[in-house]
Structures are given as C-alpha cells and as structure tokens.
Amino acid sequence: MSLVLTGAEVMQVLDMDLALAAVREAFRAYGEGRVNMPPKAYLVLAQGDFRAMYGEIFLPEGHVCGLKWVNVHPANPLKGLPTVMAKVVLNDPETGLEWADLDGTFLTNYRTGAAGGVAVEVLSRPDSARLGVIGAGEQARTQIMAIMKVRPIQEIIICDCARTRAQTLRDDMAAQYPVPVRLAPDSRETALASDILVTVTPSEVPLVVRDWVRPGTHINAIGADAQGKQELDPEILKAARVVVDDWAQASHSGEINVPLSKGDITRDMIYGSLGEVVASKKPGRQSPEEITVFDSTGLVIQDLALGLAIFNRAQERGLGEIKDFLQLSS
C-alpha cells in the first residue's frame, strides 16, 4: 500500500522548520556514515535534463530508501512552468514495498533552502546581518526563508538579470519579513554589501570575483548543479574554507567542478563535507575574518529525510490517498 500525496497536500504539512530539522538530521547521518548514496545520474536533453537520485538513510525516526526523479528545464518559466519539477518515492528497505509516492517539487525547493540554512548555521558569523542573493527564482526564495530562521538578518539585497523577477521577489520578501529589502543593480554591489551571499543561478561563467568578497563573508553556492556550471571566481575558492555536500557529486557537477577540471584548485584545498561539520567531526568557521563557501549540489538523503517527515505528518492528519498499486491481497 502506498500513500499518494499531491503537491497541494504536501504543502499542507511542509514548512521551513520541518525542512530544517529533517535536512540537519540528514547531514548528521551523512557525517556519521548512516547513508548509502550513489552519485546522481543525469539524462541530458536538448532543452534541459533529468536527474535520477536514489539512496538509503538511517534516521532516528526510521530507516528509509527511495528515489527522486527531477528535471531542470531553464526555459520553462517562459511556458508558465516551473524550472524544476520532481517526484519522490519512499520504500521499505526490508521488503522493497512502496510507502509513499509524493510530488517532490515543493519538497525540492524547501530541502535546498534548508541545506543553505544548515550551512549558514555552522559556517557564517553568528552576527551576520546582511543577506545578498544573486538570482531571484524559487530557489532564492527558500534560501531566504531558511536563512531568516537561523541568523539575525537586518537587510536583504536581491540582484537578478531579469528585473521583473527580482522586483517580484523583493515585494514578496518585504511583505513577509520586517526588514528592508532592496534591489541591487549588479552582482558587484550585492556581494560587497553582504555578510552572507547566496548565488542561485544557472550560470556557466563566474558572476562574483574575489575582490568583491569581504573578509568574514559566507557564500552559499547553490546554482552550479551540473557539469560546466560555475558562479564564483576560482580565486574565491582558493581564499576560502570550502565545504561540499558530497565530494563525488560536487567534483563532477558542483561549484568546484570547473576549477578542478582546469587545475585551478585541487582536492586537498577542499576542507570537508557539511555532514562532517554538522556531526562535529570537523569544526566549522574558525575565525570572524575567514571566508567560507558551501558548495551545494543537492543530495537524495535530504529528499528522503524530508520526504519521510512529510509522509509521517500526512498520515497523522489523514491526508493523501492510499493506493494498492500491486493489488496485494490482505
């Protein structure tokens, strides 16, 4: 028997507090070796790509495995469609039976934002007050939502090449949070103004150069999630304490993938994984002056942990539709 949850039903139980708790626990499990997670596989198409992500995780609330099938089609907004859409399937590791089949589009947005929030918790200065965001899509929105939960942000600065999109995000955030929210004309001004900088674009060329990043800045590099993408000047990575979500994925498709392939940086320049920091296997920020970078590619363990939390809440509230896809006898 499988619980089928639509996107609307997922949003009845999903909030950023739930996402932060689940994703924090997913990274702790990673750091403690309680996961089984092959790198994601890509199906590259003319207009975008699909990714198959699958794995297993042991959590305090349960042992679960599953699959996420997710697309990235950058031109979709012009067609009135989301850039990213997903489906998540949760299975019983002991028998293989399906527990849940849920829309993963909102889940993906929230778990990505939550990963940024967890990174900010352990890598940014506790007194970080100014949040800059380059890129104004859905991922930018959930990054702001998560970071506002974990740091005393006093100002939000937004920059996007599509000014209308940036204005929409500015207006939405200004309505949601009691802090000034303003637009910056370019990446330079955004970076220079920021204690915490989030880059969340599909760029294949650096958008932020070393001279724009002040001492003590933390950067969430979110946009580079496929081979050939990059948002940061490699000189930033050389000057920073760089933390990845997973070496296998980040080296192939994260912010570090291009500078690694060109020899601009080497593996020994990467400090470690976010899971190691969350699990206290390695310390996070070492001084108020250092620059820190989180290279996020997105891990299926984030989806599984949050998916399981959504599944449990939905069951408690009687949401969704039970389907017997196999028509098993009782």
DSSP string, 207-229: -B-GGG--TT-EEEE-S--STT-
Sign of CA dihedral 167, 171, 176, 182: positive
* One-letter identity of residue 239: A
Tokens of 226: 């496929």
For residue 257, give Cα distances in angstroms to 48, 89, 235, 263, 316: 19, 29, 14, 10, 42
Other CB atoms within a 10 A radius of the CB of residue 28 amount to 22
Domain boundaries, the chain: 2-108+301-323, 115-298
Tokens of 8: 């609307």
Q: pLDDT tens, position by position, for the chain (330 residues)?
A: 899 999 999 999 999 999 999 999 999 999 999 999 998 999 999 999 999 999 999 999 999 999 999 999 989 988 999 999 999 999 999 999 999 999 999 999 999 999 999 999 999 999 999 999 999 999 999 999 999 999 999 999 999 999 999 999 999 999 999 999 999 999 999 999 999 999 999 999 999 999 999 999 999 999 998 899 999 999 999 999 999 999 999 999 999 999 999 999 999 999 999 999 999 999 999 999 999 999 999 999 999 999 999 999 999 999 999 998 887 665
| Residues identified as active-site | 68
CATH number for 115-298 (one of 2.60.40.1760, 3.20.20.140, 3.90.700.10, 3.40.50.720): it is 3.40.50.720
Q: What is the DSSP letter of 283?
A: -
* One-letter identity of residue 315: Q
Other CB atoms within a 10 A radius of the CB of residue 142 amount to 25
Q: Topology of domain 2-108+301-323, per CATH?
A: ornithine cyclodeaminase, domain 1 (3.30.1780)
Q: What is the pLDDT of residue 329?
A: 63
Please state, in angstroms and rounded to a whole number, the distance separating the CA atoms of residues 261 and 175.
43
The residue whose two tokens read 């139980």 is 13
Tokens of 124: 């940014």
Other CB atoms within a 10 A radius of the CB of residue 186 amount to 12
pTM of the model: 0.95
Q: What is the pLDDT of residue 325?
A: 84
